[in-house]
C-alpha cells in the first residue's frame, strides 16, 4: 500500500493545520531500536515532518554536517557512540532543538543529556502526542518566529561595557560588538523571554510554560541547565553571573548593565 | 524431670569459668603448701622434743647415780623448757616436774615400750593440746624417764597458715572473676560491633562495614562479615540492575507498539468499522499494559530505594485538584476548608500525582467511585482523605490491601493487577508520610487517609539540588 499524498493527509487531520503552507521541517531521528525507529518515522511523517532516520550516531553526525536539520529526536542508549557524545559533537554544527529519548528517568541521565546540549527530554514509553507536542513547542519558538510583545523594544542592550552586548530580536541575533554570539534556538528563546521586559523576575514554571510549553509536570531542572549554558555564553564571568541573576526561591531575572 | 534453667550469657559463663578456675588452682596450691609445711614443722618439733628429752634424761640419770639423792630433788634441779614436763617412774612411784601432769598423761603405748627397755616417741594430747610424749628407760638407775612436750605453738602456727592460705584462695578466686569479666568483655566487644553494624545494614545503610583490624583472631570474623555484606550489597545492586534491564527490555517494544498504534489511530478513517473496533481494543489493552508496567517498574525502584525524589513545594490542594482533572474526574469532589497556605507539601509531583490517580482508580474499580476528597492541615503535616462508595474494607484486610497483588473482595472479579495501592503506599513512605485505610464517616465506604509532612519537616527537600547550584 502506498502512502496517500501529503495534502490529503493534511486535510484529514486538524492537528496538522499549523504546518499548512510551510516547507516541511526536517526531523532527524536517531534510534537504534528498529521497531521504535520505524514506528516513529511513520508517526512523525504523518505529523508532516520530513524525516531522516538513523540507527548509528556516526551516520547521524554525517547527516547533521551535510544537510539542514531543524529538529532532532535522539535516543541516549545506543550501540557504538552514545547519545551524549552525539549531542556534544553535533552542537557546534547545529543549533537545532534536540529532544532526547531515555528509557530511564534517572536524574543523572537526564541532567547529563541536558548539560551536553539537549533542549528537552521524553521518557520511554512515550506517546506520540507527547513527542509531537514537545517538538512543536520547540519548533514554533524558533529563531525569528516569535513576535515580540508590543511595547517591548526589539533591540536590548544587555551590557554597555565595550564591546557592548546587544540582543536584536528583529534580526534574531545576539552580538558582542561586531561578533555574533552563537546561541541555540532554545537559549535564544530563553534570553528573549527574560528580556521581555528586562528586570522582571521570571519563575522557573513561567519560563517552562513560555519556552517549552510545559504544564504542571514540567521538570524545572531543564530551566536551570539552560540558564547555566546561557550564562557561559553571555556572562563576562559565568562563575559570578551579573546579567542573568538567580533570585532565590523565585526564579531568574535579566539585569542589563 | 528438668529444672527450668535460665540461659546463662556468654559473659557470665566466661566470668564464672575464670573464677572457678582460679579458686581450684589456689586451693590445690594452698592445700599442698599447707601439708608440706605441716609435715616439716611436725617433724622438726618432734626432733626437738626428742633432743630435749634425751638431754633431760641424761641429766636425771646422772643425778640419780649420786647415791642418797631423792628423785624429787633431781626433778627440782632439772630445768625443762616452759612447755615441757618431765616425769620419772622409779620403784613403781611417779614423780612429775609439774603439778598439772601425771602418770595418766603418759600414753600407755609409751609406758609399754619403756617397760620393754626401748625409747618411744608418740603424739598425744595433754591438757587439750597436742603434745609429744617421749619415753626413755634408765636401766642404770632402775628408773624410767618420760617427757611430755606441749606443741601449742605449732598448732597456732598451723592455724595461722591455714587462715592465710584460705584468704589467699578467696582473693585469687575474686581476682579470677575480675579477670574473667574483663576477658569476657574483650571477647564480646567485637560481637557488639558486629551486632551494631548488622542493625545499621538492616536499616538500609548498605555501605556499612566493620573497620579492618590487626587482631588475627578478629580478622576472620571481620573479614567474613564484611564479605557477607559485600555479597548482599552486590545482590541488591544486581537486582536493581536487573530491574533497570527489564525496564529497558520491556519499554522499547512497548514504545514501538504504542507508537505504531498511534499511527494506526491517526489513520483510523482509512480503516473499516471492524478494524477500528479491533484497534480500539488494542489501544485500551495497550494502555492498561503500559500502566501496569510503569507501576511495576516504579514500585521496584521505590522498593530498592533507587527512585529519585524530585522535590518541589506546592499546595496539596492544587495537586489533588490537578489529579482529579487530569484523570477525568470532577474537581468539585475536592472539599477543603483551609485558607491559603497551611497545606504546602514538599513532594515529587509526578510521583505523587501517579499515587493519587492510583488511589482514585482503586476507588473506581473496587468501590463504586470516589465520593469525596479532602485536604486539611494537620499539625506539622497535611492530611488528604479519599472516600469511596463501596462496602468498606474489613478491619482484618486494612493493612493487607497495601501489599502487592492483593485485591479486596473476590479474586479476579475486577480488572487491575493489585499494584495500585502498594505503589501508593511505597510512594507515600518514600516521601516520609503514611497511609492507612479506615471507614468513611457516616457512610458504608472506605476512607483512605494519606499524611504528608510539611516542607520544613523534610530537610533539604525544599531546595532542589539544581537550585542550589544555579
The pLDDT value given to residue B412: 42
Which has the higher per-residue pLDDT, A97 or B402?
A: A97
Within-domain flag for A250: yes
Q: At what angle do helices A221-234 and A107-116 cross, to 10 degrees?
A: 30
ipTM over 0.90: no
Within-domain flag for A148: no
Query: In the predicted model, what is the mean pLDDT of residues B381-386?
Result: 89
pLDDT above 90: percentage of residues in chain B: 11
Asked which of A99, A117, A140 is the last residue of a domain, the reply is A140
**Number of other residues whose CB lies within 10 A of the CB of residue B11:** 15
Q: Are residues A114 and A171 in the same domain?
A: no
Average per-residue pLDDT for chain B: 81
The pLDDT value given to residue B210: 83
CB-based contact B287:B315 (threshold 8 Å) = no
From the list B268, B255, B256, B261, the residue with the least C-alpha distance to B283 is B261
Among B252, B267, B470, the residue with its CB nearest the CB of A224 is B470
The pLDDT value given to residue A13: 39
The pLDDT value given to residue B92: 82
pLDDT above 70: percentage of residues in chain B: 87
Q: Are residues A15 and A128 in the same domain?
A: yes
Q: Are residues A136 and A54 in the same domain?
A: yes
Query: Please, what sign has the CA dihedral across residues B354, B359, B361, B362?
Result: positive
Between CA B324 and CA B356 the distance in angstroms is: 8
The pLDDT value given to residue B21: 92
3-state secondary structure of A136: helix
Q: What is the DSSP letter of B459?
A: T
Confidence at B341, pLDDT banded by 50, 70, 90: low
DSSP string of B91-156, one letter each residue: TTEEEESSSS--GGGS-HHHHHHHHTT--EEEEEEETTEEEEEEEEEEGGGTEEEEEEEE-HHHHH
Confidence at B190, pLDDT banded by 50, 70, 90: confident
Cell of A133: 507536542
What is the spatial order of strands in the sheet that A155-159 belongs to?
A: A155-159, A165-168, A173-176, A179-180
The pLDDT value given to residue B304: 62
Chain A nearest-CA distance from B321, in A, is 12
Q: In angstroms, how far is CA B444 from the centroid of its own chain? A: 49
The pLDDT value given to residue B244: 62
Look up cell 479491533; give the residue.
B278
A129 and chain B in contact, CB less than 8 A: yes
- The tens digit of pLDDT for each residue in B409-447 reads 544 444 445 678 888 888 888 888 888 888 888 778 888
Within-domain flag for A150: no
A16 and chain B in contact, CB less than 8 A: no
Q: Are residues A19 and A123 in the same domain?
A: yes
Tell me the domains of chain B and their CATH numbers: 10-159 (3.30.450.20), 216-302 (1.10.287.130), 309-469 (3.30.565.10)
The pLDDT value given to residue B261: 92
CATH number of the domain within which A127 lies: 3.40.50.2300
From the list A161, A160, A165, the residue with the least C-alpha distance to A177 is A165
Q: What is the DSSP letter of A238?
A: T
The residue segments making up the domain with residue A102 are 6-140
CATH number of the domain within which A219 lies: 1.10.10.10
Cell of B73: 630433788
Which has the higher per-residue pLDDT, B308 or B320?
A: B320
The pLDDT value given to residue B458: 45
Phi, psi angle pair for B453, to nearest 5°: -70, 150
Tally A–B CB contacts below 8 A: 92
The pLDDT value given to residue B466: 36
Between CA B304 and CA B311 the distance in angstroms is: 19
Chain A residues in contact with B248 (beta carbon < 8 A): 77, 103-104
Number of structural domains (chain A) is 2
Query: Please, what sign has the CA dihedral across residues A74, A80, A85, A91?
Result: negative
Chain A residues in contact with B256 (beta carbon < 8 A): 33, 35-36, 38-39
Asked which of A80, A112, A140 is the last residue of a domain, the reply is A140
Among B254, B293, B312, the residue with its CB nearest the CB of A220 is B312
Phi, psi angle pair for A153, to nearest 5°: -65, 140
Query: How much is the pTM?
Result: 0.57
The pLDDT value given to residue B221: 83
| Residues of chain A predicted below pLDDT 50 | 1-19, 143-148
Within-domain flag for A245: yes
Helices and strands, counts by H and E, chain B: 10, 12
Amino acid at each position: 500500500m502506498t502512502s496517500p499524498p501529503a495534502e490529503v493527509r493534511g486535510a484529514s487531520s486538524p492537528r496538522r493545520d499549523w504546518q499548512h503552507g510551510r516547507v516541511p521541517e526536517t526531523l532527524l531521528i536517531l534510534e537504534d531500536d528498529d521497531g521504535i525507529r520505524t514506528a516513529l518515522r511513520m508517526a512523525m511523517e504523518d505529523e508532516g515532518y520530513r524525516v531522516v532516520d538513523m540507527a548509528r550516531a556516526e551516520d547521524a553526525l554525517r547527516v547533521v554536517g551535510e544537510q539542514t536539520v531543524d529538529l532532532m529526536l535522539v535516543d541516549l542508549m545506543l550501540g557504538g557512540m552514545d547519545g551524549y557524545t552525539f549531542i556534544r559533537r553535533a552542537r557546534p554544527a547545529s543549533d537545532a532543538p534536540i529532544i532526547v529519548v531515555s528509557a530511564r528517568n534517572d536524574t543523572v541521565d537526564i541532567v547529563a543529556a541536558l548539560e551536553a546540549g539537549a533542549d528537552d527530554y521524553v521518557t520511554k514509553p512515550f506517546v506520540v502526542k507527547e513527542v509531537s507536542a514537545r517538538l512543536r513547542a520547540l519548533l514554533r519558538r524558533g529563531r525569528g518566529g516569535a513576535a515580540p510583545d508590543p511595547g517591548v523594544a526589539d533591540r536590548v542592550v544587555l551590557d554597555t561595557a565595550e564591546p557592548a552586548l546587544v540582543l536584536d530580536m528583529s534580526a534574531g541575533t545576539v552580538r558582542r560588538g561586531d561578533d555574533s554570539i552563537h546561541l541555540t534556538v532554545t537559549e535564544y528563546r530563553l534570553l528573549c523571554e527574560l528580556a521581555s521586559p528586562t528586570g522582571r523576575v521570571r519563575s522557573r514554571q513561567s519560563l517552562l510554560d513560555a519556552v517549552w510549553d510545559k504544564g504542571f509536570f514540567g521538570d524545572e531542572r531543564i530551566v536551570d541547565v539552560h540558564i547555566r549554558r546561557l550564562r557561559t555564553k553571555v556572562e563576562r564571568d559565568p562563575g559570578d553571573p551579573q546579567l542573568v541573576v538567580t533570585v532565590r526561591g523565585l526564579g531568574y531575572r535579566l539585569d542589563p548593565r | 524431670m528438668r529444672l527450668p534453667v535460665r540461659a546463662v550469657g556468654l559473659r557470665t559463663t566466661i566470668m564464672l569459668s575464670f573464677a572457678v578456675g582460679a579458686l581450684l588452682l589456689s586451693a590445690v596450691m594452698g592445700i599442698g603448701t599447707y601439708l608440706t609445711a605441716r609435715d616439716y614443722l611436725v617433724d622438726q618439733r618432734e626432733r626437738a622434743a626428742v633432743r630435749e628429752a634425751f638431754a633431760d634424761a641424761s641429766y636425771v640419770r646422772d643425778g640419780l647415780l649420786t647415791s642418797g639423792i631423792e628423785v624429787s630433788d633431781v626433778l627440782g634441779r632439772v630445768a625443762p623448757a616452759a612447755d615441757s614436763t618431765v616425769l620419772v617412774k622409779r620403784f613403781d612411784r611417779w614423780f612429775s616436774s609439774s603439778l598439772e601432769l601425771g602418770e595418766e598423761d603418759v600414753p600407755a603405748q609409751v609406758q609399754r615400750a619403756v617397760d620393754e627397755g626401748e625409747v618411744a616417741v608418740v603424739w598425744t594430747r595433754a591438757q587439750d593440746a597436742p603434745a609429744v610424749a617421749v619415753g626413755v628407760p634408765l636401766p642404770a638407775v632402775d628408773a624410767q624417764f618420760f617427757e611430755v612436750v606441749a606443741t601449742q605453738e605449732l598448732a597456732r602456727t598451723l592455724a595461722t597458715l591455714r587462715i592465710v592460705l584460705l584468704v589467699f584462695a578467696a582473693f585469687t578466686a575474686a581476682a579470677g572473676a575480675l579477670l574473667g569479666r574483663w576477658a569476657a568483655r574483650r571477647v564480646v566487644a567485637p560481637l557488639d560491633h558486629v551486632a551494631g553494624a548488622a542493625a545499621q545494614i538492616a536499616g538500609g545503610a548498605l555501605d556499612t562495614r566493620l573497620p579492618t583490624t590487626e587482631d588475627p583472631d578478629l580478622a576472620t570474623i571481620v573479614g567474613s562479615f564484611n564479605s557477607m555484606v559485600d555479597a548482599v550489597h552486590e545482590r541488591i545492586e544486581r537486582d536493581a540492575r536487573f530491574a533497570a534491564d527489564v525496564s529497558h527490555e520491556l519499554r522499547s517494544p512497548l514504545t514501538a507498539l504504542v507508537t505504531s498504534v498511534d499511527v494506526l489511530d491517526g489513520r483510523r478513517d482509512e480503516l473499516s468499522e471492524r478494524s477500528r473496533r479491533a484497534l480500539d481494543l488494542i489501544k485500551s489493552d495497550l494502555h492498561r499494559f503500559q500502566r501496569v508496567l510503569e507501576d511495576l517498574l516504579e514500585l521496584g525502584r521505590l522498593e530498592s530505594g533507587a527512585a529519585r525524589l524530585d522535590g518541589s513545594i506546592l499546595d496539596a490542594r492544587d495537586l489533588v485538584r490537578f489529579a482529579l482533572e487530569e484523570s477525568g474526574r470532577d474537581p468539585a469532589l475536592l472539599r477543603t476548608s483551609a485558607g491559603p497556605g497551611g497545606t504546602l507539601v514538599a513532594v515529587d509531583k509526578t510521583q505523587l500525582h501517579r499515587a493519587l490517580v492510583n488511589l482514585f482508580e482503586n476507588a473506581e474499580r473496587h468501590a463504586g467511585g470516589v465520593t469525596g476528597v479532602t485536604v486539611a492541615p494537620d499539625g506539622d503535616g497535611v492530611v488528604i482523605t479519599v472516600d469511596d462508595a463501596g462496602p468498606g474494607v474489613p478491619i482484618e484486610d486494612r493493612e493487607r490491601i497495601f501489599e502487592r497483588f492483593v485485591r479486596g473482595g473476590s479474586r479476579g472479579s475486577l480488572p487491575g493487577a493489585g499494584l495500585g495501592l502498594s505503589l501508593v503506599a511505597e510512594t507515600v513512605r518514600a516521601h516520609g508520610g503514611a497511609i492507612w485505610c479506615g471507614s468513611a464517616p457516616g457512610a458504608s465506604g472506605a476512607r483512605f487517609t494519606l499524611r504528608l509532612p510539611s516542607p520544613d519537616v523534610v530537610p533539604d527537600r525544599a531546595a532542589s539540588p539544581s537550585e542550589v547550584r544555579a
